[in-house]
């Protein structure tokens, strides 16, 4: 017995590393671990310097809403807009969803929110229901304007009423931060 205790005392860090490695390899535990780690490292996104901002001039872009109706993004021209590209399998996307839900709940009357995915409604809607999210999902019908293109998930844009891209963030972020809320309050 003393040799076993001595072995554990000497190698405890290796044992913990192996356990964590096994948990990350197992599909059922991998995603929750990834979500947790992404939540831990998510920080508040910052505004792009005014001189470095791109402007959205072309609002011609189509997608479907959760009722399968075609939506033209031109309806948001002249409004404050938040566009978020996400997927149910994306751990960083899942990590930032609670913050986006809080932001959506508080600002849905003042900001046009678009939570856009390329996944099928049969996958998205059960996920949103299971997590108790009321975020409105949208589904790609056409390519976004060039300044809103991204091949990374999640990617989120905050677009001012004049079309300037105020914030562009790739990766998980704390969208419910005081900084983001102050930026939205200033722009609305």
CATH code at position 124: 3.40.30.10
Cα dihedral 113→118→119→125 (10° resolution)? 20
Do residues 99 and 183 share a domain? yes
Do residues 81 and 145 share a domain? yes
Do residues 76 and 37 share a domain? no
Q: What is the domain count for the chain?
A: 2
pLDDT at 82 over 60: yes
Count of C-beta atoms within a 10 Å radius of residue 39: 18
Do residues 124 and 153 share a domain? yes
Do residues 178 and 140 share a domain? yes
pLDDT at 114 over 60: yes
Do residues 31 and 84 share a domain? no
Q: Which of 183, 164, 163 is nearest to 173 (CA)?
A: 183
Q: In what order do the strands lie in the sheet with 81-85?
A: 70-72, 62-64, 137-140, 112-117, 81-85, 155-159, 165-170
Rounded Cα–Cα distance for residues 125 and 127 (Å): 5
pLDDT at 4 over 70: no
Do residues 81 and 154 share a domain? yes
Counting beta carbons within 10 angstroms of the beta carbon of residue 164, is it exposed (0 to 12), middle (13 to 18) or buried (19 or more)? middle
Do residues 176 and 92 share a domain? yes
Do residues 25 and 90 share a domain? no
For residue 164, the 8-state DSSP code is B
Rounded Cα–Cα distance for residues 83 and 98 (Å): 16
Identify the pLDDT of residue 3.
58
Do residues 31 and 55 share a domain? no
Query: Binning pLDDT at 50, 70 and 90, where does residue 52 land?
Result: very high
pLDDT at 77 over 70: yes
Do residues 64 and 113 share a domain? yes
Taking residues 90-98, what's their average pLDDT? Answer: 94
Range of the domain at 124: 50-187
Average per-residue pLDDT in the chain? 90
Query: Binning pLDDT at 50, 70 and 90, where does residue 24 land?
Result: low
Do residues 75 and 140 share a domain? yes
Reduced to 3 states (helix: H, G, I; strand: E, B; else coil), residue 77 is coil
């Amino acid at each position: 017995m003393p040799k076993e205790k001595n072995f554990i005392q000497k190698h405890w860090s290796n044992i913990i590393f192996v356990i964590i490695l096994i948990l990350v390899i197992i599909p059922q535990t991998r995603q929750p671990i990834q979500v947790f780690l992404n939540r831990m490292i998510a920080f508040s996104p910052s505004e792009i310097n005014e001189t470095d901002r791109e402007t959205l001039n072309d609002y011609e872009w189509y997608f479907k809403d959760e009722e399968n109706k075609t939506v033209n993004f031109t309806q948001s021209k002249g409004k404050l807009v938040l566009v978020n590209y996400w997927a149910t399998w994306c751990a960083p996307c899942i990590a930032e969803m609670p913050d986006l839900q809080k932001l959506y709940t508080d600002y849905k009357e003042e900001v046009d929110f678009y939570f856009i995915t390329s996944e099928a409604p049969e996958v998205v809607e059960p996920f949103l229901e299971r997590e108790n999210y009321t975020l409105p999902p949208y589904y790609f019908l056409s390519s976004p304007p060039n300044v809103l293109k991204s091949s990374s998930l999640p990617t989120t844009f905050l677009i001012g009423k004049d079309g300037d891209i105020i914030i562009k963030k790739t990766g998980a972020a704390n969208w419910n931060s005081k900084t983001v809320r102050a930026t939205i309050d200033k722009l609305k």
